[in-house]
A and B are shown apart, each in its own frame.
Chain A
Amino acid sequence: MRNPPDIIEVLARTQSGEYCTTKDWDTRRVPGAVRQMLQKHGLAKTCDTQNPCNYDFELADRFYQAGFELALELGYHVLDTQRTVKVSREELQNALKYAPSQVFVGEGKDGTLIKHRTPGDPYPMASVCSLGITNSEAMFPLITLGIARERAVDILEAGSLITLRGHEVLSGTPWETLLGYEHARMHLDIRRKAGRPGMGAIGCISAVTEYGQFGAYGTPGGFRTTDLALILFPSELKIDYRTLHKVIHTLNCGGMMKCDSPSMIGGMAGPPEGAVICSIACALLSYAILQNTVGGGEIYDVRYLANVNREGLWALSVTAQALARNTHICSHIIANQVSGPVTASLLYEIAAGVGVIAASGASMSTGPRSAGGKLNDHITPLECRFMGEICHAASGISPQHMNEICKELLPKYEDRLKNPDVGKPFQEAYNVERLEPTAEWEDIYRRVKAEMIQLGIPMDEF
């Protein structure tokens, strides 16, 4: 029986694996292998846009098998060396066998136990807020404090900073090393101020390259090794030495990691069905090659710059169900919204996306991506509260029931997905001094929450 390759062996394979140019990988290897798997397993054209939350578990299992075989067929392409890191069947099986089925993030009573879940599982999916929406230096402490105070938020990620004491920060320079440290230091300080010093965290979202991660994770006063190191890598099925720097730094610190890379509907993986098997393959390989702790299962739709459209929701549901039913890993899946704060659309998009993910058995979800994550300070604690509430309340709902709920929700927002209302920034959506939402935003939240309860999502009453 072969154990998964250790990091030395992975590094060796990045230099000795089969040569393949990135162009060939993107345009021939990945699409060709995906097409072959879809055909072999009879999965082409199985996306059902009339039933956006899949509840055919046999179909999800076939997707898992195709994803597993794709992982063995392709491995990861290494951008720096143009070589391929592959693993054997035994190595992949053992990596999944030894992957954690539960992980405690944070410390003491403020920490969160993330567990492997199955479709319809009542154990609550962990909510991680917010995604890396850029924050001004003035607003970052306020917005982050507001989010950390929301009890429906289990784990804090927060927004990302782009300036440091008024100076522009440049990616890949010492500015970023310094910003990583400052971000992490403020992040820990804010968790303490919120009265949740042991609250778990994921970081560092301000760290784009390895430099930011070196400054942020495991440093004194920064992200703790009981927090998750954030390690994102390029799609489809590509890694680089930047990714491996972050992995090795986390291992050196004795920490835990959340490794993720999205598969793209419309991109190299092709149709929604192709994106699902690529996403499954990518998730499985992250445990064998990157020694991942939690994560895997991301999907975006390049045509919408989101994934809460019908094809996106279907793909999220199948991916989550496939991983939930066939492994014991703790998957992590993001719902990408496009509408902004102080719009009902944002809350409908959160309810559909996060609801599908929770009902389908993912272990954790990070969000929301208010206004598509495109605009500075366009994030408020209130939609984070709403997302956390959906994470918890939709856990226990069956995929079939969630499908019916999605059919009610989609007509409320899908026409606007390509031309969304980006809403208002934090400064206009909140009373900044009191850290409270404006009456307008509070009213929208209450109205939509009441609608969700009526639709059958068992959120707490007011």
Chain B
Amino acid sequence: MEPDELMRQLSAAVVEGNDSAAASLARNALAAGIPPMTLVKQAIQSAMDVVGERFECGDAFLPELILAGDAARAALDQILPSISGDDMAAARAGTVVLATMYGDNHDIGKNIVSAILSTYGFRVVDLGINVSPPAVVEAAAREKADIIALSTLITTSLPYQRQVIDLLKESGRRDQHFVIIGGGPVTPEWARSISADGYGRDANDAATLCQKLMAGLEPPLPEPLILGALKH
């Protein structure tokens, strides 16, 4: 198959959310000699941009976004071992460990954040719902997370966000991970009070926030970055 056709098919597989096809096409494209960074930028990232735009316009919905993210990840898993040095940083925006806090079973906000972060090139480790603070901290260490993103829709689960930061401090690892927070009852004031590194009102804010944090900043920040603050 011609390189252009391989690129087109890989891009289409990501848009369609076909993870097995995306992985297979990525392997074939590498074998055909297409440079890995060309695949990342011109096939995978551009495909995720298409899906992201469709979501914004209301032409695609959360399932399509999630499946496209899975397909992009499957392709990247094949491609990334072939990339080294500076190119690796360009290919992978960063690793985010994401969770809905203990006591809270709401997953839709977290799922949207997960999907949108994937479209921005982040590797997302989604721990799911009802996750305890120790489990978040352990996963962040295991996955070498750049960012810990914590969601809750439940006010009585808010203190668990602070417990994650406390555990990081107590274990001497607060400088290893940014901590960002969001969800229904979460406010900029709460983010400041628990010394989080960032707050985003919605999923797009979360993605922009992660990009800003990964642009040369080091945790912990003296003041959280606030995106989408409510108008008083």
A-to-B contact residues, CB < 8 Å: 26-28, 30-31, 79, 134, 160, 162, 168-173, 175-176, 179, 206, 208-209, 234-235, 240, 242, 264, 266-271, 274, 302-303, 305, 371-375, 419-422
Contacts and interface: CB of A to CB of B under 8 A. Distances in A.
Interface string B195-221: 000000010000000000000000000
Interface of B: 17, 55, 58, 61-63, 66-67, 102-109, 111-112, 129-130, 154-160, 184-185, 187, 202, 230-232
Contacts of B231: 419-422
Given A134-B185, A168-B159, A208 B104 contact: yes
Counting chain B CB atoms within 10 Å of each CB, which of A31, A162, A171 scores highest?
A: A171
Nearest to B159: A168
A208 B157 contact: yes
A420 B230 contact: yes
27 contacts: A26-B63, A27-B63, A31-B61, A162-B155, A162-B156, A170-B103, A170-B157, A171-B156, A171-B160, A172-B102, A175-B156, A176-B103, A179-B156, A208-B103, A208-B154, A240-B105, A266-B61, A266-B62, A270-B63, A271-B61, A302-B108, A371-B230, A374-B185, A375-B230, A420-B230, A420-B231, A421-B232
B55 to A, nearest CB: 8
B158 A162 contact: yes
Contacts of A420: 230-231
Contact of B61 (A168, A242, A267): A267
B58 A169 contact: no
Counting chain B CB atoms within 10 Å of each CB, which of A175, A208, A240, A274 scores highest?
A: A208
Nearest to B157: A171
Contacts of B55: 266
Contacts of A28: 63
B103 A172 contact: yes
A169 B155 CA distance: 9
A27 B62 CA distance: 8
Contact of A234 (B62, B102, B105, B202): B105
Contacts of B17: 27
Given A27-B63, A172-B103, A235 B108 contact: yes
Given A234-B106, A375-B230, A422-B230, 5 more contacts: A134-B185, A162-B158, A170-B159, A240-B105, A421-B232
A268 B63 contact: yes
Counting chain A CB atoms within 10 Å of each CB, which of B55, B62, B154, B155 scores highest?
A: B155
A240 B129 CA distance: 12
A303 B102 CA distance: 25
Contacts of B158: 162
Contacts of B157: 170-171, 208
Nearest to B162: A168
